[in-house]
Amino acid sequence: MSHTFLFQPAVWTGTGTLWCADGEPLGTVNRTEIAHRPECWLLSGTVKVLGAPPTEFVHAYWIEPPVPGTTSLKWSFESATLGKLEGRFAVIGPSILSVFGCESSGYHGVEHLGQRDADHYRSAGLLMLKGQIIYSWEYVLKRAE
């Protein structure tokens, strides 16, 4: 089965859990849109954390389009809090792994996207700073109709 997340323009929605550094689980609602342009692919969206008060993370990744014969994609994302994160998506069988970091801020992390079928993925990952987990997450993503 070919990967659909990242590799096909689409909107993905989902729900899941984000765990803070103290282990407190908080529900999440997610929306991600993937667009393909000749010069780059764009992954943008939001993660709404259902805490008290609710918090919303906004993300926009610039992804270099794939070169024929390669199984990984370079990406970058800039944030006032995290700095300029740079990473790589790597396709490994039914999984897409993303490893990322920011040299100036020290933030780094990993995300695993496991394909369940063409319309469903499971995401799990964590963000770290100086060897400490800042937060971790698990989401189920569904391609919108």
Span 80-100, pLDDT tens digits? 889 999 999 999 999 999 999
CATH number for the segment(s) 10-143: 2.40.128.20
Q: What are 65-75's pLDDT values in tens digits?
A: 988 888 899 99
pTM: 0.93
**In contact, 77 and 60? CB cutoff 8 Å:** yes
Q: What are 2-56's pLDDT values in tens digits?
A: 999 999 999 999 999 999 999 999 999 999 999 999 999 999 999 999 999 999 9
